[in-house]
Structure 1
Amino acid sequence: MGDSKSSLVFLVLLLIVWFSGTSSDPHSLSYNFTISPWPRYGQRWCEVQGEVDQKIFLSYDCGTAKIKYMSPLGEKVKNMSAWETQTVTLRDTGDLLQEQVPDVTPEKHTDKGPLTLQARMTCWREDNGQMNASWEFGFSGQLCLLFDSENGHWTVVHPGGRRMKEKWENDRAVTDFFKKVSVGDCRAWLQAFLVCWEKMLKTSASPTTGPPTVKSSATAIKHITWILPMLLTSFIITVFLG
């Protein structure tokens, strides 16, 4: 009987460690591009803001390739090798978006004016460790188009995004670029930066992931990972000792 109890205790502890170890803190990394195709004198043609858990940590000027650190988070990782590759990719993305503006601008907007193209790339890690990525595109503050980097699906959320969808959905090179940068580069940066960031982020406010649906699903998974060990423990005790 004593050996059975010892085996039971060991099994219960093993289950709890296994299930609780499958979760991790959710984090997100985003880059917001603002492209001004016809900039006024002194205006930047491309600006990028970087956010971690929706907190701004850098501002990048594509034209001058200068970075302004908006928080200690940027200072913490600026000497990492991933940091240099990040800035090159951000500049290349800005160049691509600027080149695409004439072909994706809504037909109703025919005059050169203050129109700007906005793009938001986000990659995030849920608290079950799963990684995801997506893009959002819009004009002058109006969200128009969504791109799911995981399945390559485009979704028009405003008529202004129809021309953009038609152009990019049929352009394999552009679609592949968006997928590569968000699924490949962004994820790699997030994982590399978190090595230095996680302690700093834990001392700040609770992290917020990208889309609200991610947060809700992550919360549900987190609850399950704690509930399952308790249910299994009760079941095992009932079977062995009932």
Structure 2
Amino acid sequence: MDGTEVLPLSSSNSQYYLRFYFTDATSLFCEFSIKPQSSAEQPWCEVRGYVKRKLFLSYNCQSKEITLVGPMRMRMNDTGFRETQKETLNDLMEELQKKVRDIKAEIYPKNGSLDLHGEMKCVRGASRYTSASWKFTFNGQVTHHFDSENGNWTVVQPAGRQFQGTLDSDRDVTNFLMKVSKGDCKSWMEYVMNHWDEKLETTVPQSRPQDMARSGASGSTPSTWIFLLFLYCAILLGIHVGVL
């Protein structure tokens, strides 16, 4: 990933980062992080969406409002779509927040720190079939892969050994990832990409007929100025000859 700015997604006990990318015509990436013991003064979460690495959407879990940015603000003025995505983003963050708390309570001491980072890759094939794969890391070490094609988890060794039986054995997490992969991922891609391909209309101001008529009446052509110049010179020459 490049150095795109990421905004924190935080709650009283966890801090989140979530951002979306369209890296090509048929792929979407989502990155997120959960950091326990974040400051209570921080907002519950913030989300940023990117189309072709350009910011088009932001979401604040405190206000629970999706804000469209740039050209997409004019193209995606669909309240129903935004309401659906708000619900999905909020539910996803709450589900992961709950799981991180459970894992921390089981594996780490109270004064320990446990960070969860993840990445979702959403892909649409030639037949317009959409699927997603997920990667999770704890404290910087890749521990799990999840494939929505078959609903299977892969525990990555050696880092995943300590976390085996956590994410991969949680039916609620698995079902939620499948729901996002099969449903929301497809709707995000279709809706956003369709609007991204639209061309913004450019309005060119047209001259009013009265303005054009006024301009034609007041304007002077080059031939008119040349005639007046010759007439002026002839008058001066006649005056000069008369004096002599």
**TM-score category, normalised to shorter length:** 0.5 to 0.7
| 8 Å contact kept, 1:144–1:158 | yes
Residue 103 of structure 1 corresponds to: 102
Structure 2: tracts of 5 or more residues without a match: 1-23, 200-244
Alpha-carbon separation, structure 1, partners of 2:186 and 2:144: 22
1:90 corresponds in structure 2 to 89
Structure-2-length-normalised TM-score: 0.59
Corresponding residue for residue 215 of structure 2: none
Shift in CA distance, 68/82, structure 1 to aligned 2, threshold 3 Å: closer
**Aligned counterpart, 1:212:** none
- Name the CA distance, whole Å, in 2 between partners of 1:83 and 1:67: 6
Rounded to whole Å, the distance in 2 between the matches of 1:193 and 1:87 is 15
Cα distance in 1 for partners of 2:83, 2:157 equals: 36
Q: Identify the structure with the greater helix proportion.
A: 1
Instruction: Give the Cα–Cα distance (whole angstroms) in 1 for the partners of residues 126 and 73 of structure 2.
Output: 23
Partner of 2:131: helix, strand, or coil?
strand
Give the partner amino acid of 2:81.
A
**Over aligned residues, Cα RMSD in angstroms?**
3.1
**SS across alignment from 2:165:** helix
Question: TM-score, structure 1 length as denominator?
Answer: 0.59
Distance across 1 between alignment mates of 2:155 and 2:56: 30
The aligned residue for residue 29 of structure 1 is 28
Q: Within 2, Cα distance between the matches of 1:90 and 1:165? A: 26
Within 5 Å, give how 1:115-126 maps onto structure 2.
Answer: 115-126=114-125
1:193 corresponds to: 192
Higher-Rg structure is: 2
Counterparts of 1:7-86 in structure 2 under 5 Å? 26-69=25-68, 71-73=70-72, 76-86=75-85
Secondary structure (helix, strand or coil) at the match of 2:166 reads helix
Q: Is the 8 A contact 1:31 1:48 kept in 2?
A: no
Match of 1:150, SS state, is coil
Letter of the 2:56 partner, please give it.
F
Tell me, what secondary structure is at the counterpart of 1:29? strand
Partner of 1:171: 170
Tell me by how many angstroms 1:187 deviates. Answer: 0.8
Question: Offset at 1:176?
Answer: 1.1
CA–CA distance in structure 2, aligned partners of residues 128 and 171 of structure 1? 31
Equivalent residue letter for 1:72: P
Q: What is the CA-CA distance between 1:100 and the residue it aligns to?
A: 0.4
| Map of 1:144 onto structure 2 | 143
> Where does residue 225 of structure 1 map in the other structure?
none
C-alpha deviation, 1:123, in angstroms: 1.4
Residues 32-52 of structure 1: per-residue CA shift (max 9 Å, x gap) = 333233211433454433333
In structure 1, distance between residues paired with 2:175 and 2:49: 22
CA contact (8 A) 1:33 1:94 kept: no
